[in-house]
Amino acid sequence: MELSTRKTLDRAFSGTGMFSICLMTASLLVILLPVFAKGIKAFVFRETIENRKMILEQFHRGDSAALDIEWESARTARQPVYDAMQAFRIELDTLEGSRRRELRSSFREVESALQSLLGPEPGSTLSPLLRNRYGQTRWDRAQVKLQQVLFREAWDYSRPGEAGTRQWIPRKQTFAGTRLEPMFDHLETKLDSMLQPRWTFYWRFLSDDSRDSHLFGGIWPEVLGTLYLTIGAMLFAVPMGVIAAIYLTEYARPGRVVQILRTCISTLAGVPSIVFGLFGLAFFINTLQVSSSKSVLAGSMTLALLILPTIIRASEEAILAVPRTYKEAALSLGSGTWNMILTVLLPAALPGILTGIVISMGRAAGETAPIIFTAAVSVGKPLTLLQTLTQPTPALPWNIYNLATEHAAVEEIRHVQFGMVLTLVVMVLILNATAIAIRARIARRMKG
Amino acid sequence: MTSSTLNVARPRITLEAPAAPLPSPVDPGPADAAPETPHVQAEQFSILYGEAMAVREISMVIPDRQVTAIIGPSGCGKSTFLRAINRMNDLIPCCHTTGRLLFDGQDIHSPQIDVISLRKRVGMVFQKPNPFPKSVFDNVAYGPRLFGIRNIRTLTEIVERSLSRAALWDEVKDRLAQNALGLSGGQQQRLCIARALAVEPDVLLMDEPTSALDPKSTARIEDLIAELRGDYTIVIVTHNMQQAARVSDFTAFLYEGVLIEFGQTRKLFTNPHNKQTEDYITGRFG
């Protein structure tokens, strides 16, 4: 082969390699940037006075005197709206039949949209549902609600053969000439003083529990549940995995059996996680009955099984990479095998073992399928350590899916979903960074 | 390899009388130097890797408190024989032995022997310096700690004594807490010797201890061996004949797993009885 051909081939290889690395980085950014941009909205946003009221009443935080003053001015700004509503109700009864029917149904829509924007009208009975007691807590959502008060969504099917087009019909037109008409302009111009938005940094999104299934409050039960499940899985998987790796490398007589065992472990690593979930349900809960129903304990055990192959393989590699001379030195000094493993082999293999633990920890924290059957519920309180033995828990991966697909008000709580994703990503990154730091420290200490 | 060569190459083994007093080396020298019951002696001792024989029916008495060198070309079984003395061959799965290898009158390979206490009395230094990735202190204290010495003052004494014994104390006394892998190759090897001495063995096995070292470090190790002679029974495997001539009192020449000649170093190098020995030490083969 000619020199120029060889050089071209070399360049082609490094070019392809660099291209795929760049592609990977780019796709990572494409995923991470929106997650960060949208997730941060759960923490930093413009809160309305309704949010401050909710926090004070539900979480008992905030300055109640200052809120009273704010509330007074907000109430003053809202009064014309309520007055107009009241006046229109009286006017409605005086209207004749067909016009009355038409306006009544439209007025009901205005009423409900207004309630979700500003909260219940003064004097109305207290709703048992928290979501009906407060208006919009977030200014960005308030803008959407305002749109719904001001406009009616209608579809134009007038042109046959084409898809219908959406139209926004101003309600001001509908109610033209009535006593409700001025309210719309007032609402549009004065919404600021009615809701008094203000920038806030809601870091307690992490440490508050949720109210009314995530419409208000934070995600502490989910964060805690994820920590419990991850740490629990590690408690089971790390000792078992490392000891299994030691057995395979140090004690087992190399031969057919060990070969079969290794193949089994590799196969186990490729089993779909939902199968592990089903197994956890069937074995830990139904057969062993470690708990009467879903529990953190059962979930941890299932996750442990899932990550066990990764830990075994990584530990095995790490142990095999320890120079044989260390082993020989320890044994020649009169160390027994067990002692040699503890004092020489494991310390030297620790960085590699930690790498395996890091990888599987991230996996355990983010795995959804195994915990659906064994540990996860959609809504729950933060658990105490003792409760983890018997109680199920909400957990970030499951709740991200659950909130995005099965929540009654998916649109209302987009910020919570993205906040959870961001939290999960950051949690995994922190776990990894810690382990990498520990690993680097040990490796440095061993190099001398 | 034909069997005729093998037969020729097995002249000194007393096949006819295995129960008789052990075949002493060529010269009466070792009998004078060694005490009544020699620590290590082989009786028709063979080592097999599966079917292949690595060491063939060696019978020899390793004299106490002397330096015995084992020389021979690569693959002649000298390291295998050395490693049998503290049963390091146990690590190799298909390795087994026949005949007897005695330590203090007991068969090293009998099931009754406690390998750990055997290895405590038979220390070993390896071809490549292999300190643990721990501090200098922890390296030397590893053995004593294994045998239950926890008292820090006792440990410090042992560490200092062993390091001084290995002629390393002056160089490392200020950095006992530092990682041993930061030492130079020669220092690391002397540290390994100190580590082996810390458990106060009777026998010290050295498997080509200077093959990975530069000439200056090699000279230091050789000086050290000379100093340790008289206190320890040292068996050193080397493929450097000059080294064998310099450091040892007795030399054994192995070829193809067979002990060709064993005798006082001076005599063996100046006046070998066997033709093969002569060929080897004069560099005609090997």
pLDDT of residue A176: 85
User: What parts of chain B have a pLDDT lower than 70?
Assistant: 1-38, 286
Q: How many CB atoms lie within 10 A of CB A271?
A: 13
A323 vs B: CB within 8 A? yes
Counting runs of H as helices and runs of E as strands, what totals does chain B give?
A: 12, 10
pLDDT of residue B4: 40
Q: How many CB atoms lie within 10 A of CB B223?
A: 13
User: What parts of chain A have a pLDDT lower than 50?
Assistant: none
Coil, strand or helix: which one is B276?
helix
Looking at residue A227, its amino acid is L
Alpha helices in A119-255 (DSSP H): 139-150, 171-174, 181-195, 220-246
B181: which chain A residues are within 8 Å (Cβ-Cβ)?
Answer: 446-448
Query: Hey, are the CB atoms on A329 and B146 less than 8 Å from each other?
Result: no
Q: How many CB atoms lie within 10 A of CB B230?
A: 12
Complex-level ipTM: 0.81
Contact B175, B136 (CB under 8 A): yes
A274 phi and psi, to 5 degrees? -65, -30
Give how far Cα B106 sits from Cα of B22, B46, B100, B109, Å: 15, 17, 9, 9
B159: which chain A residues are within 8 Å (Cβ-Cβ)?
Answer: none
B113 vs A: CB within 8 A? no
Contact A195, A74 (CB under 8 A): yes
State how far residue B241 is from chain A, nearest Cα, in angstroms. 25
The interface residues of chain A toward chain B in range 244-273, judged by CB-CB distance below 8 A, are: 253-254
pLDDT of residue B22: 43
pLDDT of residue B23: 43
B91: which chain A residues are within 8 Å (Cβ-Cβ)?
Answer: 327-328, 331
Give how far Cα A418 sits from Cα of A28, B11, B260, Å: 16, 87, 81
DSSP character at residue A341: I
pLDDT of residue B13: 37
Query: Hey, are the CB atoms on A325 and B126 less than 8 Å from each other?
Result: yes
Mutate to test the interface with A, among B122, B127, B132, B187 (most CBs of A within 10 A): B132
pLDDT of residue B25: 45
Q: Say how far apart CA A82 and CA A110 lie, in whole Å.
A: 12
State how far residue B37 is from chain A, nearest Cα, in angstroms. 24
Contact B57, B92 (CB under 8 A): no
Give how far Cα A161 sits from Cα of A7, A153, A158, A166, Å: 62, 21, 9, 16
CA nearest to B134 within chain A? A446
State how far residue A359 is from chain B, nearest Cα, in angstroms. 25
A330 vs B: CB within 8 A? yes
Query: Hey, are the CB atoms on A447 and B199 less than 8 Å from each other?
Result: no
The contacts of residue B66 (CB under 8 Å, 6+ apart) are B30, B33, B34, B229, B233, B234, B249, B250
DSSP character at residue B67: E
Task: Identify which of B116, B142, B182 has the shortest CB distance to residue A448.
Answer: B182
A177 vs B: CB within 8 A? no
User: CB contacts < 8 Å between A and B, how many?
Assistant: 75
pLDDT of residue A33: 92
By the 10 Å C-beta count (0-12 exposed, 13-18 middle, 19+ buried), B10 is classed as: middle
Query: Hey, are the CB atoms on B178 and A334 less than 8 Å from each other?
Result: no
CA nearest to A336 within chain B? B116
Coil, strand or helix: which one is A367?
coil
- Residue appearing with tokens 């979501």: A131
Q: Sketch out chain A's domains with CATH numbers.
A: 48-200 (no CATH), 220-447 (1.10.3720.10)
Q: Say how far apart CA B207 and CA A392 lie, in whole Å.
A: 61
Contact B216, B247 (CB under 8 A): no
Q: How distant is the alpha carbon of residue B145 from its chain centre? A: 24
pLDDT of residue A220: 94
Q: Which two tokens stand for residue A209?
A: 């529990």
CA nearest to A448 within chain B? B179
A444: which chain B residues are within 8 Å (Cβ-Cβ)?
Answer: none
Angle at B161 between CA B157 and CA B162, to 5 degrees: 115
Angle, nearest 10°, between helix axes A296-320 and A273-280? 130
Q: What is the CA radius of gyration of chain B?
A: 19
Query: Hey, are the CB atoms on B199 and A448 less than 8 Å from each other?
Result: no
Of residues A432, A446, A429, A431, the one with CA closest to residue A351: A446
A169 phi and psi, to 5 degrees? -100, 120
Task: Identify which of A253, A323, A333 has the shortest CB distance to residue B195.
Answer: A333
